[in-house]
Amino acid sequence: MKQHKKHEEIARPSLGNYGRNEWAILGTDCGKIKQLANQLCEAFSSKWKIAYVDADHKEANDGQSAIRNPQSAIQFTDKIEYNRLDFLGKPESYQFRPMFNEMDLVLVNGNHFAAKRQVVVIDPKKEDSLKRKLDRLTDVQLILLTDTSLPPYGFLKESLSHFDKIPVFQLADFQSIKTFFDKKMQASIAPLNGLVLAGGKSRRMGTDKSVLHYHNKPQRDVMVEVLEKICRCTHLSCRPEQAGELVYTHDVLPDTFLGLGPMGAILSALRHAPDSAWLVVACDLPLLNEEALRYLAEHRDPSAIATAYRSPESGFPEPLVAIWEPKSYSVLLQFLAQGYSCPRKTLINSPVHVIDAPNPDWLMNVNTPDEVDVALRKLGVEGF
């Protein structure tokens, strides 16, 4: 008998307790852990957004850590140089993940909290403490020695089946640690998929914009062919009723967020592959070419929620010639929950990397027959 499933399974992002790229440091005293975390923050904060998770080692109600107004469930304080949010209750991972969504690296004091990956410090003073935390060692990827004369513990070798493959450095050798994390950060950059938007109803044009022949073939085919040269894989976004026709010639990705226009298409792509970044292009940009999209990809900032061209007309980010990072999924859903279905509004009000196009004509938007004539003249084409 076929097992009944009450809820439909969907692709889940590869998340830990706090985010995609989280590391617990454990095995030594909290002071050394915080010192290493501070060094990593100093080394990488100019390029990546980094968070640190720790416990308060002071008394719980010393007047500094407690909420000043005990009647407030949440208290926000503008501290001039930084902002502070105090709240009652202890969040679970489902609450932590949205809080840390925009972080590229989360460092965790593993003496107090667990994380997806671990750095184990061999410190004889904390051997017994580490032995009690073996259940947290789910993916140890680095071992650090406080004393080179002392080998890693025998119980650690027995607990880690891949022990011989784990790199071992001195805790004092920060350059090697920095190089290790630099490689891990580069490896954490999401692969790039392509998405061509062909689901619009083209009301102003009066005919389907995606099938206009500016380059001797349907514009949607032109865009797919260009993205296939840049991206790992490319999909044609469409409305569900279009999929039956297009599936024979394209790798289609029908909208699963319906009635939302381009925002629904972007969300549908992120739902389909939430650990991928998506290079999204519209079909009404006939002067957009491989050079333009390679330039965008080369200037990508994976630490932002998106990398987008600046519209030469409005000065705002252009959401339909943009790379949407995996972290944008949660942000788009938050805007949708607040009643906004405009991807441009999301970009304007979020940490986005905006670049200027070397050739503004790349971003010429064509929505009417008169604009078609202008585009054809720029392309040196007489007409359809």
pLDDT digits (tens, 9 = 90+) for 238-286: 988 888 787 767 889 999 999 999 999 999 999 999 999 999 999 999 9
Instruction: Pick the closest to residue 332 from 271, 254, 252 (CA basis).
Output: 271
Question: Where is pLDDT greater, at 25 or 208?
Answer: 25
Where along the chain do its domains lie? 22-187, 192-379
Q: What is the DSSP letter of 311?
A: P
SS3 224: helix
Instruction: Classify strands 168-170 and 140-145 as parallel, antiparallel or unpaired.
Output: parallel
**Interacting residues of 217 by C-beta distance below 8 A, sequence separation 6+:** none
How do residues 312-351 score in pLDDT, each as one tens digit? 999 999 999 999 999 999 999 999 999 999 999 999 999 9
The mean predicted confidence, pLDDT, of the chain is: 91
Structure confidence at residue 298 (pLDDT)? 98
Q: Rounded CA gap, 339 and 133, in Å?
A: 45
Place of tokens 């891990």: 184
Q: Rounded CA gap, 188 and 124, in Å?
A: 32
Q: Which of 68-82, 186-200, 263-277 has the lowest mean pLDDT?
A: 68-82
The helix or strand, by DSSP H or E, that contains position 143, with its residue range, turns out to be: strand 140-145
| pTM listed for this prediction | 0.92
Structure confidence at residue 122 (pLDDT)? 95
How do residues 79-97 score in pLDDT, each as one tens digit? 999 998 888 888 889 999 9
| Separation in Å, CA 356 to CA 120, 307, 335 | 44, 11, 25
**22-187: which CATH architecture?**
3-Layer(aba) Sandwich (3.40)
pLDDT at 1 exceeding the cut of 70: no
The helix or strand, by DSSP H or E, that contains position 83, with its residue range, turns out to be: strand 83-87
Amino acid at 282: A
Instruction: Pick the closest to residue 284 from 190, 360, 219 (CA basis).
Output: 219
Same fold, 22-187 and 192-379: no
pLDDT at 126 exceeding the cut of 70: yes
Amino acid at 155: F
The two three-digit tokens of residue 110, written as one number: 């593993």
Any bridge partners for residue 267, and if so which? Answer: none
Structure confidence at residue 202 (pLDDT)? 61
- Dihedral sign for Cα atoms in the order 313, 319, 320, 321: positive
Tell how far CA 45 is from the center of its chain: 17
pLDDT at 383 exceeding the cut of 70: no
Structure confidence at residue 216 (pLDDT)? 87
- In which band, very low, low, confident or very high, does the pLDDT at 123 lie, cut at 50, 70 and 90? very high
Q: What is the DSSP letter of 89?
A: S
The CATH homologous superfamily for domain 192-379 is Spore Coat Polysaccharide Biosynthesis Protein SpsA; Chain A (3.90.550.10)
Is there a contact between 220 and 285 (Cβ–Cβ < 8 Å)?
no
